[in-house]
Structure 1
Amino acid sequence: MYDWLIVGAGFAGSVLAERLASQRNERVLLVDRRPHVGGNAHDYYNDDGILIHQYGPHIFHTNSKQIFDYLSSFTKWRPYSHRVLAEVDGMLVPIPINLDTVNQLYGLDLNSEQLADWFSARAEKVDSICTSEDVVVSVVGRELYEKFFQGYTRKQWGLDPSKLDKSVTARVPVRTDRNDLYFSDEYQFMPRHGYHRLFENMLRSSNIHVMTQTDYRDVKDRIPHRRVIYTGPIDEYFEFCFGRLPYRSLQFEHVTRDVPWHQPVAVVNYPQTKDYTRVTEYKHLTGQSHPKTTLSYEYPSDVGDPYYPVPNAENQERFKKYECLAMNTPDVWFVGRLATYRYYNMDQVVGQALSTFRRICNTVETGS
């Protein structure tokens, strides 16, 4: 008899498994369909000995000392400041848009104050900011919106930004100075020995039994357990009774080149050209020294493992029906990006898992 059956060995499931095992001394069965733990953050050494992220770049960043300190129990860190370039009008320019971006694109020599006026002159008045298009055109105008956001968003989401919630493009700031860091969080690091090692350390407890390549449905009626923590797609748990929730997936082409470096930064975005959205070069992220380099070409898709909930009003309305079912399902806790249909970063998923653990401690007696 297990105290908990946890479905999904990504951050949400693994954090809760670790907390329940170490803090409550409870027995946990952690299952995942994939052949590894770590979810989409999984990394591994390829045939050439280069550490790569199987499911695209995962850069840890947070403003939460609590979350950073918690994960520091399972890994040492490598400081890393993420920079991204975008190929626009045949040039590689910084993204998020900043002073250098505009000066390079338009051959100008503006200062920060002048750039703020330049943006204001081009910004469109939007009475009610609801969509991703509204967010951008209201700040920088339509021309930069079309150069940087419209094509990229259509590729990434399969929808025009005018059909997506404002939260999608609101994630990317616009700056009037020369700051070219992609993130502004206080803590920006990479696990020194990779994510897989972090998850191995997190799941070491003898109270945790991990079963990979295992579908939840194959064990839920065969292995006794008291309670369930579910981190998969919420519509799948309820057998799609209200219809399927849309998720976007990604396909990756991993290519190793016989050169030390391929591009000047870890990630280059392609909003105007190419079928792929971006190219990642992992040695920038990991700091690994190697005579070769490995790149990932990223192709968004509607087919494949679910990665991103598609945020718009229609999908939220359907999710609310599933959420109501979830709230009335006893002894099952729904946690994580797929189970709560929210576009969370890694640190936000960790924070949600830690918060869920606190709620469990307040409502469920140990061993009951």
Structure 2
Amino acid sequence: MKVNYLIVGAGLTGLTFANLLAQNENNKILIIEKRHHIGGNAYDSYNANHILIHNYGPHIFHTNNQTVWDYLSQFTEWCDYQHRVLSFVDGQFIPMPITLETINQLYNTNFSQFEMVDFIESQKESVVPIKSSEDVALNNAGRDIYEKFFMNYTTKQWGVVPSELDPAVISRIPFRFNRDTRYFTDRYQGIPKAGYTKMCEQMIDRPNIKVMLNTDYKEVRDAIDYDKMIYTGPIDYFYDHQFGKLKYRSVRFEMEDHDCESFQKSAVVNYPNDYDFTRITEYKKITGQQGRKTTIMKEFPCDGEEPFYPFPTKEWQELYLLYKAKADAEKNVIFAGRLAEYRYYNMDAVVDQAMRFFEMRFL
């Protein structure tokens, strides 16, 4: 098979590259994806109750980048959605991130904005030098807020206590000194009206794009003649783990159906201190669907084969740099995206990055 571009991975990075390259009708593009679907972790599907679920956890699109918003709007209409999250702390469902409403509800106070500033300052502990994520939290927020909201959640998320994690993991704890309880404050926010999968299908609905699912690219690459490869998979896998396997944190998902119209007060509820899971998502509250039944998803962070979160510590970053040095020397391979760059990206960032790469390398 002869193609101009072989794209490994059908997540948003690979699909954006494919769409942009396909605008030149002379380009032949092949996408190879090991999963049974396109869309990467943004993949969504309807379950037995006809509820649209996000199979890999909640994905809320938000950005301040109008170029990215306008680009994706070619492929979907948007449902207006303002994401709100509650955290179950001290027997209460308290808004997150930390706002004036959070502090007043947690401590049964009636602080003004200025009084909240004074209160947070009074809670902080001076830690010098800062060596860990725990130090960052204590220095920025104080022990009580750290222990109620962050200590156990971070431990569940990474499987390591914050005192053993690099400061970058909790690089800062943001506070909003107002009553805005939205999780995101970006200018553009929404959910694709027909779902992420439909949006992704529209991105590659071109005759010069072919897709091969359920396929490891290494099984077929010798049979494909290509001019350039765009690789969005794990960078260590590309090099057969030559320097060792990079560490990722994975997530196990448990779905539950319930015979009720509403299970919880908000789309997402965090459980920093209770249970083994970190959060519960109720998808009807994201999609706006109606019905007598509802579906929830519990998330259990774990060490597993499915790579979700690059492990953000110095040790693993140094190992990644060994692979990056080899990748930088490649002549006809572009490494792009979360797994290929061993870096966590929001959805808008991977689309923006692919668009920038395209402008630099192909225009």
TM interval, shorter chain, is over 0.9
Alpha-carbon distance in 2 for matches of 1:50, 1:253 = 15
Task: From the superposition, tell whether residues 344 and 67 of structure 1 become closer, same or farther in structure 2 (CA, over 3 Å).
Answer: same
Give secondary structure in 1 for the equivalent of 2:87. Answer: strand
Corresponding residue for 1:219? 220
Q: Which amino acid aligns with 1:113?
A: F
| Residues 168 and 313, structure 2, Cα contact 8 Å, conserved in 1 | no
**Higher mean Cα deviation, 101-110 or 40-49?**
101-110
| Residues 79 and 189, structure 1, Cα contact 8 Å, conserved in 2 | yes
Corresponding residue for 2:274? 273
Alpha-carbon distance in 1 for matches of 2:194, 2:23 = 23
**Higher mean Cα deviation, 334-343 or 162-171?**
162-171
Corresponding residue for 2:190? 189
How far residue 360 of structure 1 moved from its aligned partner, in angstroms, is 1.8
Describe how 1:182-261 pairs up with structure 2 within 5 A: 182-261=183-262
Which deviations, in whole Å up to 9, do the C-alpha atoms of 1:321-344 show, x marking residues without a partner?
Answer: 110000011200000001001111
Task: From the superposition, tell whether residues 240 and 35 of structure 1 become closer, same or farther in structure 2 (CA, over 3 Å).
Answer: same
Q: Which amino acid aligns with 1:351?
A: D
Corresponding residue for 1:70? 71
| Residues 39 and 197, structure 2, Cα contact 8 Å, conserved in 1 | yes
Corresponding residue for 1:335? 336
| Residues 84 and 269, structure 1, Cα contact 8 Å, conserved in 2 | yes
Give secondary structure in 2 for the equivalent of 1:299. Answer: strand
How far residue 136 of structure 1 moved from its aligned partner, in angstroms, is 2.3
Describe how 1:85-100 pairs up with structure 2 within 5 A: 85-100=86-101
Task: From the superposition, tell whether residues 24 and 125 of structure 1 become closer, same or farther in structure 2 (CA, over 3 Å).
Answer: farther
Identity of aligned residues (%): 48
How far residue 289 of structure 1 moved from its aligned partner, in angstroms, is 1.6
Which deviations, in whole Å up to 9, do the C-alpha atoms of 1:227-257 show, x marking residues without a partner?
Answer: 1111111111111111111011111011111
Q: Which amino acid aligns with 1:307?
A: F
Alpha-carbon distance in 2 for matches of 1:61, 1:294 = 24
| Residues 96 and 172, structure 1, Cα contact 8 Å, conserved in 2 | no
- The number of residues matched between the two structures is 362
| Residues 250 and 304, structure 1, Cα contact 8 Å, conserved in 2 | no
Give secondary structure in 2 for the equivalent of 1:248. Answer: strand
Which deviations, in whole Å up to 9, do the C-alpha atoms of 1:274-294 show, x marking residues without a partner?
Answer: 010000001111111222111
Q: Which amino acid aligns with 2:152?
A: G
> TM-score with structure 2 length normalisation?
0.96
Give secondary structure in 2 for the equivalent of 1:220. Answer: helix
How far residue 131 of structure 1 moved from its aligned partner, in angstroms, is 3.9
Task: Please give the root-mean-square deviation of Cα atoms over the aligned residues, in Å.
Answer: 1.4
Q: Which amino acid aligns with 1:51?
A: L
Alpha-carbon distance in 2 for matches of 1:329, 1:355 = 19
Which deviations, in whole Å up to 9, do the C-alpha atoms of 1:136-174 show, x marking residues without a partner?
Answer: 222210111111011001111112223334443347622
Corresponding residue for 2:54? 53
Task: From the superposition, tell whether residues 41 and 135 of structure 1 become closer, same or farther in structure 2 (CA, over 3 Å).
Answer: same
| Residues 140 and 172, structure 2, Cα contact 8 Å, conserved in 1 | no
Describe how 1:143-154 pairs up with structure 2 within 5 A: 143-154=144-155
Describe how 1:171-186 pairs up with structure 2 within 5 A: 173-186=174-187
Corresponding residue for 2:301? 300
Which deviations, in whole Å up to 9, do the C-alpha atoms of 1:31-55 show, x marking residues without a partner?
Answer: 1111000000000000110000111
How far residue 126 of structure 1 moved from its aligned partner, in angstroms, is 3.4
Task: From the superposition, tell whether residues 197 and 101 of structure 1 become closer, same or farther in structure 2 (CA, over 3 Å).
Answer: same
How far residue 100 of structure 1 moved from its aligned partner, in angstroms, is 1.9
> TM-score with structure 1 length normalisation?
0.95
**Higher mean Cα deviation, 8-17 or 176-185?**
176-185
Corresponding residue for 2:351? 350
Task: From the superposition, tell whether residues 172 and 336 of structure 1 become closer, same or farther in structure 2 (CA, over 3 Å).
Answer: farther
Q: Which amino acid aligns with 1:111?
A: S
Corresponding residue for 2:10? 9
Q: Which amino acid aligns with 2:70?
A: D
Q: Which amino acid aligns with 1:140?
A: A
| Residues 163 and 312, structure 1, Cα contact 8 Å, conserved in 2 | no
Give secondary structure in 1 for the equivalent of 2:53. Answer: strand
Q: Which amino acid aligns with 2:34?
A: R
How far residue 24 of structure 1 moved from its aligned partner, in angstroms, is 6.3
Q: Which amino acid aligns with 2:35?
A: R
Long gaps (5+) in structure 2: none
Alpha-carbon distance in 1 for matches of 2:253, 2:219 = 29
**Higher mean Cα deviation, 304-313 or 163-172?**
163-172
| Residues 249 and 309, structure 2, Cα contact 8 Å, conserved in 1 | yes
Which deviations, in whole Å up to 9, do the C-alpha atoms of 1:189-227 show, x marking residues without a partner?
Answer: 110110010011001011100011011111111122121
Task: From the superposition, tell whether residues 23 and 111 of structure 1 become closer, same or farther in structure 2 (CA, over 3 Å).
Answer: farther
Give secondary structure in 1 for the equivalent of 2:344. Answer: coil
Alpha-carbon distance in 2 for matches of 1:172, 1:51 = 32
Give secondary structure in 1 for the equivalent of 2:169. Answer: helix
Corresponding residue for 1:38? 39
Give secondary structure in 2 for the equivalent of 1:284. Answer: helix
